[in-house]
Amino acid sequence: MKGKYYIQSAAAISPQESFSGPFVPQLLTLADKNLLRIKEPDYSGFIPPNNLRRMSRVLKMGLVAALQCLRNSEVSMPGAIITGTGKGSLQDTERFLKNITEYAETALNPTPFIQSTYNSVNGLIAVQQKCTQYNSTFVHRGFSFEHALLDSMMQIAEGNADVVLTGAFEEISDEHFYIKSRIGYWKKALTQPAELLTSRTPGTIAGEGSAFFMLGSKPGNHPLACIEGIKMVYKPTQEKLHAALETFLAQHEITPSDIDLLITGQNGDVNHDHYYHNLIVQYFPATTSLPFKTLCGEYDTASAFALWLATQVIKEQGLKKILIYNNFYGDQHTFLLLSNS
């Protein structure tokens, strides 16, 4: 997929103060759990009260990040709405599962079932914007947001859309945090984000967030950055991963030394950190790297936060090219190449 895909606007809800105002990254302090929660903005200015009353947490988080992204752009009617989410609305799924048991399958509230469907956020954005165009949701762990992005790029390349609203949303519930702790997703001892990368223990810290982007065939008035290409690699060996990187860079006629900043998904998990370590040692020994999961925690669509972070630093720091490399528990690996124009 060659071509230029301009990020005309962006918005993020995350554990950071990212939703409005200038962004200053902070290493947060965890109180009792290895879990970073989002800072909730005031949703009432975005959603009419009559719509807000029914919505569960991740629906609000997803919808409002999308609406803020639209506000930040000059676009009111995107040509497509494409999102990614690994888990959808955990809160609604859990609630419906419990209701089935608690009420013995009788007189069940339909709302949690409806909202547990993975495409419900997409549907809400479409209803609110009256957008009847292409609309899709990818639900594949560390390839959820990535395919939303690829699909968006294809919509533009096909000439079906000039601008696409694309993004991702993910929540972590206490219940799901516990469930995943049973199979080693999180570190056993309380580990602060500041110590995450030097902890040398298995697992990581959980996170959540929502980020949206207006992607266009043209720069628009204030382009934040430009997506040059994306490459996904599924369950690779280290050799295959490195070969994929070399091919990817060669396709874009650059070498590792052209990369000004490497944003990585390093998360301090000894089981998977070697992918990052070996890649850096072999290709980017002198390149500045910025590990983003100390800011947002680990979740299926954390890469959307990484892309948002890239849009914040690329102009501010006068960078020309950024490479994002992320993997989700060693299975889904992605390279994303960005330029400043």
Partner 1 sequence: MKPTTIMEALKLKLKQQIIEALNLQDTRPEDIDDNAALFGEGLGLDSIDSLELMVLLERQYKIKVEDPREGRKILQSVQSMAEFIQSKQPA
Partner 2 sequence: MAERVFITGIGMISAIGNNVQENLRHLREQKSGLGYTRHIDTIHRDVLPVGEVAATTAELAAMAGIKELPGYTRTTLLGLVAIQEALRSAGIKDAKELPTAFINASTVGGMCDTEKVYFDILDPNKEGDFLNYIDTLDCADCTQRIADETGIDEYVTTISTACSSSANALMYGARLIQQGLVQRAVCGGTEALTRFTMNGFNSLKNIDKQFCRPFDQQRNGLNLGEGAAYVVLESESLVKERNAQILAELSGWCNTNEAFHPTAPSPEGDGAYEAMKKALKMSGRSTADVQYVNVHGTATLNNDVSEGIALERLFGSNVPKFSSTKPFTGHTLAAAGAIEAIFGVLAIREQLVFPNLHFSEKMEELHITPETQLLENYPVKNVISNSFGFGGNNASLVISKYEG
Instruction: Give least dist CB 210 to partner 1, A.
Output: 22
Binding-site member from 26, 27, 44, 100 for partner 2 (CB under 8 A): 100
Q: Does residue number 221 form part of the binding site for partner 1 (CB under 8 A)?
A: no
Q: Are 136 and 84 in contact (CB under 8 A)?
A: no
Tokens found for residue 190: 């309380």
How does DSSP assign 222-242, residue by residue? S--EEEEEEEEEES--HHHHH
CA 264 to chain centre: 13
Q: Does residue number 50 form part of the binding site for partner 1 (CB under 8 A)?
A: yes
Binding-site member from 5, 143, 212, 325 for partner 2 (CB under 8 A): 143
Return the half-sphere exposure (C-beta side, CA atoms, 13 A cut-off) of residue 308.
Answer: 34
C-beta closer to partner 2: residue 30 or 108? 108
Site string for partner 1, 92-111 (x = CB under 8 A): -----------x--xxxxxx
318 Rama sector, left if φ>0, alpha if ψ -120 to 50, beta otherwise: left
Binding-site member from 33, 180, 242, 252 for partner 2 (CB under 8 A): 180
Q: How far apart are CA 312 and CA 329, in angstroms?
A: 26
Q: Does residue number 104 form part of the binding site for partner 2 (CB under 8 A)?
A: yes
C-beta closer to partner 1: residue 50 or 221? 50
Q: How far apart are CA 225 and CA 150, in angstroms?
A: 16
Instruction: Please report, for residues 78, 152, 291, 337, the alpha-carbon distance to residue 221 in angstroms, rounded to integers and kept in the order given.
Output: 16, 20, 30, 22
Q: How far apart are CA 52 and CA 112, in angstroms?
A: 14
CA dihedral 245, 248, 250, 256 (to 10 degrees): -50
Q: Does residue number 53 form part of the binding site for partner 1 (CB under 8 A)?
A: yes
C-beta closer to partner 2: residue 98 or 320? 98
C-beta closer to partner 2: residue 155 or 312? 155
Counting Cβ atoms within 10 Å, is residue 188 exposed (0-12), middle (13-18) or buried (19+)? Answer: exposed
Q: Does residue number 197 form part of the binding site for partner 2 (CB under 8 A)?
A: no
Q: How far apart are CA 115 and CA 92, in angstroms?
A: 6
Q: Does residue number 39 form part of the binding site for partner 2 (CB under 8 A)?
A: no
**3-class DSSP string for 104-117:** CCCCCCHHHHHHHC
Instruction: Give least dist CB 49 to partner 2, A.
Output: 17
Q: How far apart are CA 323 and CA 338, in angstroms?
A: 6
Instruction: Give least dist CB 42 to partner 1, A.
Output: 14
Q: Does residue number 244 form part of the binding site for partner 2 (CB under 8 A)?
A: no
Q: Does residue number 243 form part of the binding site for partner 2 (CB under 8 A)?
A: no
Binding-site member from 129, 152, 173, 301 for partner 2 (CB under 8 A): 129
Binding-site member from 130, 239, 253, 281 for partner 2 (CB under 8 A): 130
User: Looking only at residues 271 through 300 of this chain, which bind partner 2 when binding is defined by CB under 8 A?
Assistant: none
Contact residues for partner 2, defined by CB under 8 A? 1, 81, 86-88, 96-97, 100-101, 104-106, 108-110, 113-114, 116-120, 122-124, 126-127, 129-141, 143-144, 147, 151, 154, 157-158, 175, 178-180, 182-183, 232, 234-235, 331
Give contact residues for partner 1 (rule: CB under 8 A): 49-50, 53-54, 103, 106-111, 114
